[in-house]
Amino acid sequence: MSFDQYHEPANELSAETRTFARMIVSLTEEAEAINWYEQRISVETDKAAKAIMQNAQQEEFKHFGMDLEFLLRKKPVWRKTLQAILFQKGDIVKLGSKGEEAAE
């Protein structure tokens, strides 16, 4: 496992910033795992194996959501932006513009 997650000297970063960086890496890893399971599920022919993979993927999705929620609690402006986009009906790009405006 690599610890190259910092772009600045780790000893110069606050504990809060190091935790934030770890959570960003965790979020990325969860997204990768979700993708890997999606690919495996799409080609698996054994129903039992597929069900296990789907269950595992759901677990990774839960972890992704938990990581994201942690980050949103640390960055309220991110929450404002995403509240205008997530779980909304309509054009996603237009909602993104609304989200940017909401955060300003």
Domain boundaries, the chain: 14-103
- Say how many C-beta atoms besides its own lie within 10 A of residue 53's C-beta: 19
For residues 3 and 11, the model is more confident at 11
Answer yes or no: are the C-beta atoms of 21 and 2 closer than 8 Å: no
Query: Would you say the C-alpha torsion 50, 52, 56, 58 has a positive or negative sign?
Result: positive
Q: Measured between alpha carbons, how far is 99 from 93 in angstroms, rounded to an integer?
A: 10
Q: Measured between alpha carbons, how far is 89 from 95 in angstroms, rounded to an integer?
A: 9
Q: Which helix (H) or strand (E) holds 70?
A: helix 47-74
The 10s digit of each residue's pLDDT in 23-81 is 999 999 999 999 999 999 999 999 999 999 999 999 999 999 999 999 999 999 999 99
Contacts of 1 (CB under 8 A, 6+ apart): none
**Res 31: pLDDT:** 98
